[in-house]
Amino acid sequence: MAHTATDPGRSTPTRGRWGLVVAAVLVQLALGAVYAWSVFNTPLQQEFGWAKWQAVLPFEVAIGTIFIGSLVGGRIQDRRGPRPVALGGGVLYAVGNMLASLTSSGDDLWLLVLTYGVLGGIGLGAAYITPIAMLAKWFPTGAA
């Protein structure tokens, strides 16, 4: 039996979508913090004696691993929905940032690349792809 949006007691798939838009914008704003990495370049060079390429490497790796998080997150999202992917990606990105703070010497570049770059980048990709992929479902053609 076919259901329509006018069936009593049945919610439409786009119900509450404007709240989701607000949440998606907040997620995107929070994840945009990755682009603030340039603020750390000079202090990292001065503190640890790194060359510019070394100070930029964690950011490059983070941006480079976004595709892994997007791929894995997209597959999980198809099976489980967007909320666990956005939450998991956000937590992974946050944990990567927190663990990056353990970098304490010039010999710890590998730690910064692994935590901020790889872990944070994968989390960033998973959380970033969620609102992008769901946009068409939240706002189907012809929906007001």
Residue at 8: amino acid letter: P
Number of H helices, E strands in the chain: 7, 0
What pTM does this model have? 0.81
- Compute CA 107 distance to the chain's CA centroid, rounded to the nearest angstrom: 28
Q: How confident is the model at residue 143 (pLDDT cuts 50, 70, 90)?
A: low
Residue 74, token pair as written in the block: 């997209």
Q: How does pLDDT run across 57-72, given as a tens digit for each residue?
A: 999 999 999 999 999 9
Q: How confident is the model at residue 53 (pLDDT cuts 50, 70, 90)?
A: very high
Q: How confident is the model at residue 142 (pLDDT cuts 50, 70, 90)?
A: low
- The answer to whether 90 and 56 have CB atoms below 8 angstroms apart is no
| Across 3-21, average pLDDT | 62
| Across 103-109, average pLDDT | 96
The predicted structure's pLDDT at residue 4:
46
18, pLDDT greater than 50: yes
The predicted structure's pLDDT at residue 144:
54
